[in-house]
Structure 1
Amino acid sequence: MTRASASKTADDRNGFRQRLLDALEASIAEDGYAKTTVAGIVRRARTSRRTFYEHFDSREACFVELLSGANADQIRQISEAVDASAPWQKQVRQAVEAWIATGEARSALMLSWIRDVPALGAAARGLQRDAMEAFIAMVGSITATDEFRSAGVSPISRPRVIMLLGGLRELTAITVEEGGRLGDVTEEAVEASIAMLSQHGPA
């Protein structure tokens, strides 16, 4: 196989893989994860079950990869939205607003991540652990600046970051479940985050 043909084969495989991931997300948005089947995914992706199983061992494996990518995208977008030279309270607002904006863009997937993943058991424990560690690292990076340090806010303890992230996740999940708009809780989320960080104690 030539280098060009090998590259085309890899591109084709990646294209099919992405189509399957996109189809899973579309199915979650329309039917919910619990009602999503491999048959439904391949029908949306306009491919075959054989192709699906060439890429993923199971529906759960496809779900885990979809969420891993979504988490990475969210962390990147939040990090890019924060101006490290701004006053620390403004940086918190920028981060929360970016969190909410990314959640609104993929609200069904966000809700599925929060509500459906715990039921996956062992298949999801690694995903949950890795996602939490990535978000903790993101918060640590955002707050490891002169603006936060000079205000006495940084460093932030790991338990406090976990409580902050857990609270934001639950607030956004309940808001979506009740048919509300995530943007409606922006001010509450910003104020609560600033208050929690302001009450900084020994790390």
Structure 2
Amino acid sequence: MDDERSFRSRLLDGLAASIAERGYRTTTVADIVRHAHTSKRTFYSHFPDKEQCFIELLRADHEQLLAAIGTAVDPDADWRAQIRQAVMAYIEHISARPEITLSWIRELPALGAPVRDIQRSAMSGLTDLLVALSDSPGFRRGDISPVRRELAVILLGGLRELTALTVEDSRPAESILEPAVTASEALLGAERP
């Protein structure tokens, strides 16, 4: 069982390395197994195709992002400090593998209907996290109601596009810190009862 998990993990890392090297569209199964130091036979024993491997990679990346943000935010801190903590955790995560983040934003939607569920699930997970984080003691002390889901989606959609533009322009991810904090404070601060 551990060997199976190890091979699966190596294949996901192999896909991530190939995306960083060549992008998702031009990556082949041969590229994935070359980076994973394994065989096509091993690949096909774990994934039916490159698309399923990609979906699994993005699902794992999303879970890591949610965990990183959830761990970084101190619910007892001032609400503005919590926003900064969340944005900094987001930036740290995307800085580690910007190509994966860009693939999430630009490549995944191009796969069409088969991936719609993972797209919706990812946005829902981030939205739920934002709503939960804004329902903390620090936000309550600031007399701020939990953010409405619709506003959370607007905020996250804007952050996603800013992230994509930043990565595409080869600018450092840290450059989105202040705009993201400013927009978050304005939108979440507007939720005063």
The counterpart of 1:85, out of the listed 71, 76, 84, is 76
* Overall identity of the aligned pairs, in %: 49
For the pair 1:62 / 2:91, whether they are aligned, the reply is: no
Between the aligned partners of 2:81 and 2:157, the Cα distance in structure 1 is 21
For the pair 1:32 / 2:23, whether they are aligned, the reply is: yes
TM superposition shift of 1:49: 1.4
Partner of 1:45: 36
Contact 1:60 1:123 in 2 (8 A): no
Partner of 1:123: 114
Contact 1:82 1:94 in 2 (8 A): yes
The structure having more radius of gyration, on CA atoms, is: 1
For the pair 1:173 / 2:141, whether they are aligned, the reply is: no
Between the aligned partners of 2:7 and 2:64, the Cα distance in structure 1 is 20
TM superposition shift of 1:153: 2.2
Within a 5 Å distance, the mapping from 1:1-203 to structure 2 comes to 10-200=1-191
TM-score (norm 2): 0.96
Structure 1 stretches of 4+ with a deviation exceeding 4 A read none
Between the aligned partners of 1:160 and 1:201, the Cα distance in structure 2 is 13
Contact 2:143 2:192 in 1 (8 A): no
Count residues in correspondence: 193
In the TM superposition, what whole-angstrom CA distance separates every residue of 1:60-89 from its partner, at most 9, and x where no partner exists?
000000000000001101111111111101
**Structure 2 counterpart SS, 1:35:** coil
Partner of 1:6: none
TM superposition shift of 1:12: 1.1
In the TM superposition, what whole-angstrom CA distance separates every residue of 1:70-127 from its partner, at most 9, and x where no partner exists?
0000110111111111110110111011111111111110011100000111221111
Q: Which runs of 5+ in 1 are unaligned?
A: 1-9
RMSD value, Cα: 1.3
Between the aligned partners of 2:5 and 2:113, the Cα distance in structure 1 is 27
In the TM superposition, what whole-angstrom CA distance separates every residue of 1:133-187 from its partner, at most 9, and x where no partner exists?
1111111221111221232322211110000111111111101111111102211
Between the aligned partners of 2:151 and 2:85, the Cα distance in structure 1 is 19
TM superposition shift of 1:201: 6.8
TM-score (norm 1): 0.91
Question: Which amino acid in 2 is paired with 1:177?
Answer: E
1:144–1:201 distance in 2 versus 1, CA, 3 Å: closer
Contact 1:78 1:99 in 2 (8 A): yes
